[in-house]
Chain A
Amino acid sequence: MIELRSVSYTYPSGVRAVVDVDLEVREGEVVAVMGGNGAGKTTLLKLMVGLLKPSAGSVLVDGLDTRSTPLSRIARLVGYVPQIADSLFFLPTVEEEMTYALRNFKIENGAERARELLRAFGLEGTEKRSPFTLSGGQKKRLSIAVVLSWDPKYVLLDEPTLGQDKAGREVMMGIVRQLSSQGRSLVIATHDVEFVSELSPRVVLMGGGRVIADGRAEEVLTDEELLRKARVLPPQSVAISSRLERFGVKRTPSIRELHDQLRSLLSRGGGCSESGTR
């Protein structure tokens, strides 16, 4: 478990990025941290991996306090994938990026593991290339593969879909689902509300460095006033379903659920066959 106990963080410039946050990330859980630019999402992730130490309060990873535990020990448990993949790379080839941490953590069969991950992420054949020559989507996948190389228990993803087109987002959705099905804990900082609607995880909403809501996606993402406070637009399905409330339609962030509701509404009016499929 990652535990934040009354955690605040103030940057040397005086900006209070995280204010008095209490939060637990349990094993196997998928948590989306949402909020506008400057809400404190990235700072929160950096606190969880020990890159930043809290100005007040404490962060515990499986009981280890990030202030008194060597960073390498925390990093073995928590993998952090930054928003800009480039900031993670520093070696001349993809292959070396993949095996660097494995050597440092003294993990056996590293080369084989690296090959498997590259295959799983569609990066075969790039081994000898410089990471900086890869496409945007490839870099993003490599940054996740690098972090997974040492098999961390918790994976933190910062804006995994930023700047990606539909295909890139679908690949990312597949990766996230797979990691979650392997029982890994995931914390995803994002303002991509459509991505979160599809994933339907636990949602932690941040505004001004504070946690202003924490609950299931169906609850948090249908509360339009709360979302506005966090500078997040409601999912399009919520905007659509709230427009259809007079027909007895319930608000939902899920496009599939909305479709099912409308199908049964239209079939009551004799508008469509029950057996119809999409």
Chain B
Amino acid sequence: MRAIEVRDLGFRYEGSQDWALMDVSLEVESGELVLVLGSTGSGKSTLLRCLIGLIPHFYSGDYRGTVRVMGMEVASTPVHRLATRVGMVFQNPETQIFSTSVESEIAFPLENLGLPRDEMERRVEWALKRFGLEGLRRRNPAELSGGQKQRLAIATVTAMGPDVLLLDEPTSMLDPLSAKEVLELVVELCREEGKTVLVSEHRTDLLAPHADRVLAFAGGRLVYDGDPRGFFSEQRLSELSVPRVVELYWMLRSSCRLEGPVPLTPEELESLISRWIGSGA
């Protein structure tokens, strides 16, 4: 089933001369893990805002084309209805956390959905357990570490039961180990819970080996839509950080004419080099 369908999407923020997004068409199948790449101002955050409905419901500007998420046309569907099927996690968890306990943070949006009490309790318990927050349930979120806060933000959004999860640079405020843990969680949400996940992330080394697709943006346009290996096999966008293993492969390809498919992990580079030496090329 198709989770996302975008046709000829364009958006220009009010007061801006330039189109933040232009002529974007794409489709995402249910259960896919999609890595969204692009530098600041490339349009990637604007795309995510269009998918969650922040655009056009909260941001004003010129809007063109159609966006359908889980069969709903975003522009004509009320945000509260969209919110049951699609959830978003932002860069800075501080901006979406406001309750006085971890438990009530997760429960708050469920109350707003008007769920029966036992269903609400079931979901809160599930989320606490699933995201390793059981021991923190009565803690004030303000006292949690950055990584714990981001885990709480993801737990809260996921407890609402969305089919599609959007994460906009979810680790940029976190220390490296917390970042790795959060991204592992994101991969699990896709593989184990069957969520459709779109994540924009600069730590490409941690996600590229797991992603099904790469969508790359530059200057408001979609410039690549395909598998990660295809994306990293060429130096496409010099403004993007690529995994070091990819950088190394490009260096060796030009200095040593190293051949073979681009490796996305140290293990893949190891076997590439092992084969290269073994073949005595």
Contact = CB atoms under 8 A, between A and B. Distances in A.
A126 to B, nearest CB: 17
B202 interface: yes
Interface residues of A, number: 45
A270 to B, nearest CB: 6
B240 interface: yes
A166 B42 CA distance: 13
Interface stretch (B114-122, B222-230, B255-263): B255-263
Given A136-B40, A168-B40, A271-B256, A247 B176 contact: no
Nearest to B238: A166
B39 A165 contact: yes
B78 to A, nearest CB: 32
Interface centre among A191, A240, A247, A258 (most CB of B within 10 A): A240
A233 interface: yes
A269 B177 contact: no
A236 B273 contact: no
B178 interface: yes
Interface string A172-197: 00000000000000000001011000
B276 A277 contact: no
Contacts of A240: 244-245, 248, 266, 269
A247 B273 contact: yes
B254 A276 contact: yes
Contacts of A231: 175-178
A168 B40 CA distance: 9
Q: Per DSSP, are chain B's interface residues mostly helix, strand or loop, or mixed?
A: helix
A91 interface: no
A278 interface: yes
B39 A232 contact: no
B172 A262 contact: no
A272 B244 contact: no
Contact of A276 (B173, B243, B255): B255
A271 B258 contact: yes
Contact of B241 (A162, A166, A265): A166
Contacts of B281: 269-271
Contacts of A263: 252, 255-256
A137 B41 CA distance: 12
A37 interface: yes
A237 B248 CA distance: 9
B147 interface: yes
A37 B269 contact: no
B146 A37 contact: yes
Nearest to B269: A240
Contact of B177 (A36, A266, A270): A36
Contact of A166 (B147, B178, B240, B254): B240
Q: For chain B, which range describes its interface: under 10, 10 to 19, 20 to 34, or 35 or more residues?
A: 35 or more
A206 B147 CA distance: 18
A125 interface: no
**A228, A255, A266 — which one has the most chain B CB atoms within 10 A of its CB?**
A266
A233 B266 CA distance: 15
A181 B147 CA distance: 36
A105 B256 CA distance: 57
Given A162-B173, A166-B39, A232-B175, A278 B255 contact: yes
A255 B243 CA distance: 11
Interface in B143-192: 145-147, 169, 172-180
Interface in A137-173: 137, 162-163, 165-169
B205 interface: yes
A253 B243 CA distance: 14
A230 to B, nearest CB: 9
Contacts of A92: none
Given A163-B91, A272-B255, A266 B175 contact: no
B193 interface: no
Interface string A231-245: 111011101100110
Contacts of B240: 166
A124 B177 CA distance: 39
A215 interface: no
B18 interface: no
B175 A277 contact: no
Nearest to B247: A255
A243 B240 CA distance: 25
Given A166-B241, A169-B241, A243-B270, 13 more contacts: A38-B145, A162-B172, A163-B173, A193-B176, A236-B243, A244-B266, A244-B270, A255-B244, A255-B247, A267-B256, A271-B257, A277-B254, A278-B251
27 contacts: A36-B177, A136-B40, A163-B169, A166-B202, A166-B240, A167-B39, A233-B177, A236-B243, A236-B244, A236-B245, A243-B266, A244-B270, A255-B244, A259-B255, A262-B248, A262-B256, A263-B252, A263-B256, A265-B273, A265-B277, A266-B277, A270-B281, A271-B277, A272-B256, A272-B257, A276-B257, A278-B255
Interface of B: 39-40, 91, 145-147, 169, 172-180, 202, 205, 239-241, 243-245, 247-248, 251-252, 254-258, 266-267, 269-270, 273-274, 276-277, 280-281
CB-based closest 6 A-B pairs: A272-B256, A236-B244, A36-B175, A233-B176, A243-B266, A276-B255
